[in-house]
């Protein structure tokens, strides 16, 4: 190919080439290069995000064995409390089991149980919005007993030693004028029980 | 005088590199550069997409384990809170058996206890935390001789173990120390012990 002979034609020719080049360049940049750069930038962002996500996940997985061990330990402690200290109903009745425990402790302490009266099931007072004890409630009874002061003290100790979650809340011990060696005691006792509504819903 | 025998179109440049050659070389160089850049770009682009694909593959493998680990962590927090609350509940009680048993060590022989009345309420104390608040009233009788000293001695007993770690105050309310209306030679009294609130937390 030969360049135009006249200077004017050459200027027109080069101008044409220039304009065409600019148009081609524009088209290439606008519809080719920019979308590709944009796509690359998105991939780069995605790459950084994925790397961060994986880094975070790997870090979490590094801690996972320790967390699992802690979880197992805490779960075992809760299960131990549930098995040993949370009172379970016998055929739907808490009073039967509670009465057995009271009678057993009273026998050891040498105390005469006159009456064990059910007060009922109540909520555990906890901090507002605190749901950590939602799986538990309280079962209370009122017990009337007689015995010497030391025997009554031993009876309460027996009950408390058997279950650290057992609590004596209200108590009256009074002497009997006709039997000075014997005291009458009326005491309210509380046991931790599982919340049956939560159990029915499959909670723990 | 300068006579030019060549037509305009017959004129040739004396330069060994013609303008047209320069234009072609320039276009060629630009094209080469563009192709080179496109090649480099595509290499980099493919490298990034491969890395993203590789990370996606790894994520598919890691994600279930990660989700499990997060669930275990969340469950651990829940259960740890439950355990702490249970322990808080347990520690909020007062072992009354020990308290009653220890009374014999602080009650002077000349004092006869006639009634012990322990009551319990749950109150919300600072920061919305509930607490068990125990109060015990000890009623008794003693002979008139040295009665004041005997009662003060008994009252002071609440400052010793195991009472001191629980009892906040042990006071004789006004009028609580008085003559026995039945046996005039005796004195009757009441000591009210307020126990420190046992936070349930």
Residues 13-32, chain A, touching B (beta carbon < 8 A): 14, 17
- First and final C-alpha spacing in chain A: 89
CB contacts of B103 in chain A (<8 Å) are 149, 153
Other C-beta atoms closer than 10 Å to the C-beta of B12 total 7
The minimum CA-CA distance between B146 and chain A, rounded to whole Å, is: 23
Which residue in chain A is spatially nearest to B63 when comparing CA positions? Answer: A57
Which residues, including other chains, have CB under 8 Å from residue A148's CB and lie 6 or more apart?
A: A110, A181, A182, A183
- DSSP collapsed to 3 states, chain A: CCCCCCHHHHHHHHHHHHHHHHHHHHHHHHHHHHHHHHHHHHHHHHHHHHHHHHHHHHHHHHHHHHHHHHHHHHHHHHHHHHHHCCECCECCEHHHHHHHHHHHHHHHHCCEEEEEEEEEEECCCCCCCCCCCCCEEEEEEEEEEEECHHHHHHHHHHHHHHCCCCEEEEEEEEEECCEEEEEEEEEEEEEEEECHHHHHCCCC
Is residue B197 within 8 Å of B125, Cβ to Cβ? yes
- The confidence score (pLDDT) of residue A62 equals 94
- The confidence score (pLDDT) of residue B182 equals 85
Whole-model pTM: value is 0.77
Which residue in chain B is spatially nearest to A21 when comparing CA positions? Answer: B27
* Prediction ipTM score: 0.79
A124 — contact with chain B (CB < 8 Å)?
Answer: yes
Domain ranges of chain B: 15-91, 96-199
Low-confidence ranges of chain B (pLDDT < 50): none
A81 — contact with chain B (CB < 8 Å)?
Answer: yes
CATH topology of domain A94-200: Alpha-Beta Plaits (3.30.70)
- The confidence score (pLDDT) of residue A203 equals 53
- Each residue's pLDDT tens digit, A157-200: 999 999 999 999 999 999 887 888 899 999 999 999 998 776 66
CB contacts of B45 in chain A (<8 Å) are 36, 39-40, 43
CB contacts of A127 in chain B (<8 Å) are 128-130, 200-201
Which residue in chain A is spatially nearest to B51 when comparing CA positions? Answer: A47
CATH second-level architecture of B96-199? 2-Layer Sandwich (3.30)
Query: For the residues A90-95, what does the mean pLDDT come to?
Result: 89
φ and ψ of B132, to 5 deg? -80, 130
């Amino acid at each position: 190919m030969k360049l135009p002979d006249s200077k004017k034609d050459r200027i027109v020719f080069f101008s044409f080439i220039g304009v065409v080049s600019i148009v081609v360049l524009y088209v290439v940049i606008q519809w080719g290069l920019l979308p590709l750069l944009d796509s690359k930038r998105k991939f780069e962002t995605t790459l950084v995000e994925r790397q961060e996500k994986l880094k975070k996940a790997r870090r979490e997985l590094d801690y996972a064995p320790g967390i699992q061990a802690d979880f197992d330990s805490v779960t075992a402690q809760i299960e131990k409390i549930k098995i040993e200290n949370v009172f379970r109903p016998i055929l739907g009745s808490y009073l039967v089991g509670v009465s057995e425990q009271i009678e057993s402790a009273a026998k050891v302490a040498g105390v005469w149980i006159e009456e064990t009266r059910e007060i009922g099931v109540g909520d555990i007072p906890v901090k507002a919005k605190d749901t950590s004890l939602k799986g538990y409630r309280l079962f209370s009874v009122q017990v009337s007993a007689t015995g010497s002061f030391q025997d009554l003290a031993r009876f309460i100790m027996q009950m408390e030693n058997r279950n650290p979650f057992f609590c004596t809340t209200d108590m009256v011990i009074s002497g009997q004028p006709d039997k000075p060696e014997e005291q009458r005691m009326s005491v309210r006792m509380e046991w931790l029980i599982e919340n049956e509504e939560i159990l029915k819903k499959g909670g723990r | 005088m300068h006579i030019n025998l060549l037509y305009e179109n017959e004129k040739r440049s004396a330069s060994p590199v013609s303008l047209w050659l320069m234009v072609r070389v320039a276009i060629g160089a630009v094209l080469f550069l563009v192709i080179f850049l496109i090649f480099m770009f595509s290499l980099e682009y493919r490298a990034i997409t491969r890395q993203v694909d590789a990370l996606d593959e790894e994520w598919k493998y890691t994600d279930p384990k990660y989700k499990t680990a997060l669930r275990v962590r969340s469950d651990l927090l829940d259960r740890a809170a439950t355990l702490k609350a249970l322990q808080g509940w347990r520690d909020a009680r007062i072992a009354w058996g020990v308290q009653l048993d220890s009374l014999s060590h602080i009650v002077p022989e000349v004092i006869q206890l006639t009634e012990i009345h322990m009551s319990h309420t749950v109150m919300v104390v600072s920061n919305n935390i509930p607490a068990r608040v125990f109060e015990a009233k000890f009623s008794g009788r003693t002979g008139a001789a040295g009665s004041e000293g005997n009662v003060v001695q008994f009252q002071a007993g609440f400052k010793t173990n195991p009472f001191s770690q629980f009892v906040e105050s042990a006071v004789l309310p006004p009028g609580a120390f008085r003559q026995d209306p039945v046996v005039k030679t005796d004195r009757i009294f009441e000591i009210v012990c307020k126990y420190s609130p046992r936070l349930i937390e």
